[in-house]
Amino acid sequence: MTDPRIAAVILAAGKSTRMKSDLPKVVHEICGRPMLAYVLEACRQAGVSDCFLIVGHQKQRVIDCFAGQNGLHWVEQAEQHGTGHAVMCARESIRGRYEHVLVLCGDGPLIRGETVKALLSRHLETGSAATLATSTIDDPTGYGRIVRDADGAFAAIVEHNDCTAAQREIHEVNPSYYCFRTADLLTALDQIRPDNAKREYYLTDVFSILVQSGRRVAAVSAVPPQDVLSINSRRDLALVNGIMQGRIQERLMNAGVTIVDPGSTWIDSRAEIGADTAIHPFVVIRGAARIGGGAAIGPFAHLDETAWIPDGASVSPGTGMCG
């Protein structure tokens, strides 16, 4: 059920500099869909339908990828001066309209709807000014660290480049899943300054400002370590594709589909496959292909996005098929 009190601000203005690409980062595909699509899906699964997307680099390419979808509002960040600055661009869009606002990153497609639900639930239950979801990982290099006080309560987020040697030993990290009471967020945004190694406005500084002003900030350990990975390189893109493909195949197998050799099989996240269908090795299924129950596909078959395979049908080895 949609909660009209809550909106999402999704940061999607980044370039693909380290990926050596002219494409906006968030339109690079994960298992057949732009990575941003998974973040939007997680918001909708958590009951948040109004999403304000902060776009910049080649903004029209991002907008065109999601043309016709309801609940999307586009906000331009003409120049990028950090995550705090990105959210500043949405201030007038959310002011006075929503009691609470999620802030998420568009380059984190491994986000799950149930994680966002857990974050929202903790935020609303505790009445906090801000709540963040954290994760504990083996190698925290590059991530902001969660600093807690002597009683274990949240104290601050310190970005990797600004950490002391002791803080770099902290393994609880910030995957950038946030929820704020809107009024408190807007007040704190006015106080952040670019006093850091990158000379940027860090959204993470908002949490320290709120703590120092006596506001309640909650940190819930809700993000599985595997879900922390965001995408900054082609290697990251390949790793996330592999993780997402594993999720897709696990979901299908749990629903009664036989996948003979998962490692040699590729299935789009939008494909529908009925129970008791067998997917043989070296099969590729793209887009929203529809396959009935009790079918046999391949090996070495390629089904395109408009393919429709009825119940009990067989697709011969080496076949390429579309609708």
**CATH second-level architecture of 255-321?**
3 Solenoid (2.160)
End-to-end alpha carbon distance in the chain: 35
Place domain 6-228 in its CATH homologous superfamily: Spore Coat Polysaccharide Biosynthesis Protein SpsA; Chain A (3.90.550.10)
pLDDT at 77: 95
pLDDT at 322: 53
Q: Which residue from 232, 273, 205 is spatially nearest to 19, judged by alpha carbons?
A: 232
Q: Which residue has the tokens 């002791």?
A: 166
- pTM of the predicted protein model: 0.93
> Mean pLDDT of residues grouped by 10 in the chain (323 residues)?
89 88 94 97 96 95 94 94 95 96 97 96 95 96 93 90 94 97 97 87 93 94 92 94 97 98 97 98 96 97 94 87 54
Domains 6-228 and 255-321 share a fold: no
For 250, phi then psi, to 5°, come to -60, -45
Catalytic residue, chosen from 5, 18, 95, 251, is 18
Is the distance from CB of 3 to CB of 47 less than 8 angstroms? yes
pLDDT at 218: 94
Q: Is 18 a catalytic residue?
A: yes
Q: What is the DSSP letter of 298?
A: -
Is the distance from CB of 155 to CB of 244 less than 8 angstroms? no
Domain ranges of the chain: 6-228, 255-321
What does R_g of the chain's alpha carbons equal in angstroms? 21
- As a whole number of angstroms, the distance between CA 6 and CA 168 comes to 34
pLDDT at 1: 67
- As a whole number of angstroms, the distance between CA 272 and CA 292 comes to 8
b/e string for 95-129 if b means 16 or more Cβ within 10 A?
eeebebbbbbbbbbbbbbbebbbbbbebbbeeebb
pLDDT in tens, 262-306: 999 999 999 999 999 999 999 999 999 999 999 999 999 999 998
Is the distance from CB of 269 to CB of 246 less than 8 angstroms? no
pLDDT in tens, 129-153: 999 999 999 999 989 999 999 999 9
Is the distance from CB of 7 to CB of 98 less than 8 angstroms? yes
b/e string for 222-245 if b means 16 or more Cβ within 10 A?
bbeeebbbbbbeeebbeebbebbb
